[in-house]
Amino acid sequence: MGKDTLSITDNRTGKTYEIPIQEGAIRALDLRQIKNGPDDFGLMTYDPAFTNTAACRSRITFIDGDKGVLLYRGYPIQELAEKSTYLETAYLILNGELPARAQHEDWVHNITYHTMVHENIKELMGSFRYDAHPMGMLVSTVAALSTFYPDAKAIHDPQNRRTQGFRLIAKMPTLAAFVYRHSVGTPYAYPDNELGYCGNFLQMMFKLAGKYRVNPVLERALEVLFILHADHEQNCSTSAMRSVGSSEVDPYSATAAAIAALYGPLHGGANEAVLRMLREIGGRERVPAFIKEVKESGGEVRLMGFGHRVYKNYDPRANIIKKMAEQVFEVTGRNPLLDIALELERIALQDEYFVKRKLYPNVDFYSGLIYQAMGFPVDMFPVLFAIPRTAGWLAQWDEMLQDKDQKIARPRQIYRGPAERPYVPLEARS
Ligand code: ACO
């Protein structure tokens, strides 16, 4: 019978160390005892981009990237997408269990009650240029919420954390819709608390003069897209939320940091990049030439919406979205870019370059096509990602704050700069 330990022999000194293995991991700090001499700092691990470092224990989301499995609190994403609503899923992610009926009613009431934002937020938005990117505006307005709710600094009070959670989840659609209204110049539409979370968001986005009727197919599609985006364990924006939150800043500031991380084209900005790429390709017949360009560029030109750090198989969320696209297009009319996307996928999945690197469509490959067909402008896509991900960020932040192992995040470095040297006055510099 083997032991749950790892023996390491340091060939510099000939010494052997026995290090415990727990939960499939060794503790990085256990390596510190491995020293080359009394003045040696001790061994570290070098892991830029944290490709093989667990930074926390989590009970929220499970991914098996090789098998294409995604579970929230143990429930398969396919079942949640089929049977749940976004708010119910958000409750599950935050609280660990599906809500009983009374809990569900309370939860929905609390979120609905907090949908309004302070009028000064509107003024703040008004000061942005007409063509400001919606994500830039969202980062700033969410950060600004911290100044409206200074009570949010009491992060060690669980009830206070819950209250800020209601506020953030409730206000994100309002802020997102206001951001959009600013860019098109139409008056802001206030929340309608008679409607559900997604229906209300649609009316705040698209209602003009007269009554706005929420289309049930589009409302359901949005629910599903929001469920699929609600959490995804330790991705770039969630790590930002945890890392910034570890300084014990308020949740609005930490969420603003997470939104900033999501803005990047390699993360939540990818669905926007996919649409731009599809437009640039312009037609099915030009797909082979584009694939060739990607392959020959040595990684510079990427097939956006393909590849994932964790999934080395079809992203299960992409499968759900691809199927749902047909239902949405029955209402909105077919998005002509779909044919280009299908052709890209068909060719890429047969091509040795993509097969060898296990590059499959990710969640962003098809989501943009649906959003565009529903009438959302391309630069709103990452905002549509940020709204539902807020539940995941908050759950991860809450878990981090309650985890006794966590401290302020502070990685180590391997210093490669100059050794100590004296200051050279300006006149003496060549
Ligand atoms: N198109 C072409 N080649 C790719 C792509 C792509 N989309 N993604 C990865 N590769 C290639 C790389 O060039 C590299 O090739 P090499 O081994 O010859 O150097 C290899 O595949 C591995 O790529 P890495 O960049 O090391 O993979 P990593 O895990 O770091 O990156 C990422 C994952 C960022 C998602 C990457 O696949 C990518 O840039 N995809 C396009 C952007 C995208 O769709 N992002 C959305 C991700 S999902 C989300 O955030 C919601």
Q: What is the pLDDT of residues 147-179, one digit of tens each?
A: 999 999 999 999 999 999 999 999 999 999 999
CA distances from 198 to 66, 93, 111, 141, 205 (A): 32, 18, 12, 21, 11
Q: Average pLDDT in the 382-402 region? A: 98
Ranges of H-type helices in 196-250: 197-206, 216-228, 236-245
Task: Kindly state if the Cβ of 306 falls inside 6 Å of ligand 1.
Answer: yes
Residues 393 and 238: beta-carbon distance below 8 Å:
yes
What is the average pLDDT score of the chain? 96
Give 75's strand partners.
72
The pLDDT of residue 63: 96
CA of 226 to the centre of ligand 1 (A): 24
Yes or no: say if 337 and 303 are a contact pair by the CB < 8 Å rule.
no
pLDDT band at 267 (very low <50, low <70, confident <90, very high): confident
**Orientation of helix 86-95 relative to helix 197-206, angle to 10°:** 120
Which residues neighbour 335 within 8 Å (Cβ) at sequence distance 6 or greater? 325, 329, 369, 370, 372, 373
Any idea which of 5-19, 245-259, 324-338, 414-428 has the lowest mean pLDDT? 324-338
Q: Is the CB of 182 under 6 A from ligand 1?
A: no
Instruction: State the average pLDDT over residues 422-429.
Output: 97
Cα–Cα distances (Å) from 139 to 152, 308, 317, in that order, read 17, 25, 26
Choice among 229, 308, 315, 379 that is catalytic: 308
Between helix 86-95 and helix 381-402 the angle, nearest 10°, is 20
Which of 267, 339, 351, 403 is an active site residue? 267
Mutate to test the pocket of ligand 1, among 47, 290, 306 (most ligand atoms within 8 A of CB): 306
Annotated catalytic residue within 250, 364, 379, 398: 364
Nearest to 313 by CA among 78, 77, 67: 67
Residue 240 pLDDT: 98
**Ligand 1 center from residue 306 Cα (angstroms):** 7
CA-nearest of 37, 402, 10 to 242 is 402
| pLDDT value, residue 272 | 85
Per-domain residue ranges of the chain: 77-407
Residue 1 pLDDT exceeds 80: no
- CA dihedral sign of residues 290, 294, 296, 301: positive
pLDDT digits (tens, 9 = 90+) for 20-55: 999 999 999 999 999 999 999 999 999 999 999 999
pLDDT above 90: residue 309: no
Say whether pLDDT at 4 is over 90.
yes
Closest residue CA from atom 27 of ligand 1: 309
Query: What is the structure's pLDDT at 265?
Result: 84
In whole angstroms, what is the distance from residue 33 CA to residue 44 CA?
A: 10
Q: When comparing pLDDT for 14 and 322, which is higher?
A: 14
Among the listed residues 138, 197, 61, 149, the one whose alpha carbon sits nearest the alpha carbon of residue 386: 138
Residue 112 has pLDDT above 80, yes or no: yes
Q: Is the CB of 364 under 6 A from ligand 1?
A: yes
192 catalytic, yes or no?
no
Residue 211 has pLDDT above 90, yes or no: no
Alpha helices by DSSP H, 96-208: 101-113, 119-126, 134-148, 158-184, 197-206
At 215, the amino acid letter reads N
Residue 281: per-residue pLDDT: 96
- Please state the rounded mean pLDDT for residues 219-224: 97
133 is known as an active-site residue: no
Residue type, 23: E
The per-residue pLDDT for 50 is: 94
pLDDT computed for residue 202 by the predictor: 98
Mean pLDDT of 6-14: 98
For residue 237, give Cα distances in angstroms to 155, 233, 240, 285, 400: 20, 10, 5, 36, 14
Amino acid type, 66: D
- Cα 348 to ligand 1 centre (Å): 14
CA–CA distance, 257 with 245 (Å, rounded to integer): 9
- Say if residue 80's pLDDT is above 80: yes
Over the stretch 349-391, which tens digit does the pLDDT of each residue have?
A: 999 999 999 999 998 899 999 999 999 999 999 999 999 999 9
Contact present, 298 and 270 (Cβ < 8 Å):
no
Long-range contacts of range 34-41, CB-CB < 8 Å, 24 or more positions apart? 34/8, 34/10, 36/10, 36/12
Q: How far is the CA of 422 from the centre of ligand 1 (A)?
A: 44
Residue range 336-351: mean pLDDT, rounded: 94
Residue 411 pLDDT level (bands cut at 50, 70, 90) = very high
Q: What pLDDT, on a 0 to 100 scale, did the predictor assign at position 364?
A: 87
Burial of residue 429 (CB within 10 Å: 0-12, 13-18, 19+) is exposed
- Does residue 307 have its Cβ closer than 6 Å to ligand 1? yes
In the reported structure, the alpha carbon of residue 262 is separated from the centroid of ligand 1 by a whole-number distance in angstroms of: 16
The label of the residue with tokens 């991705």 reads 235
Give residue 133 CA to ligand 1 midpoint distance, Å.
Answer: 25
Do residues 375 and 257 lie in contact, with contact meaning Cβ atoms separated by under 8 Å? no
Do 135 and 142 form a contact (C-beta atoms < 8 A)?
no
Q: Which of 60-69, 305-314, 349-358 has the lowest mean pLDDT?
A: 305-314
Q: Quote the pLDDT of residue 266.
A: 86
Residue having the nearest C-alpha atom to atom 38 of ligand 1: 307
Of 47, 233, 266, the residue with max ligand 1 atoms within 8 A of its CB, to mutate for a pocket test, comes to: 266
223 three-state secondary structure: helix
What's the chain's Rg over C-alpha atoms? 24
pLDDT of residue 324: 92
pTM score:
0.93
Domain 77-407 indexed as CATH 3.20.20.190: no
Instruction: Determine the Cα–Cα distance for residues 411 and 235; give it in Å rounded to an integer.
Output: 17
Q: Is 368 in the pocket of ligand 1 (CB under 6 A)?
A: no
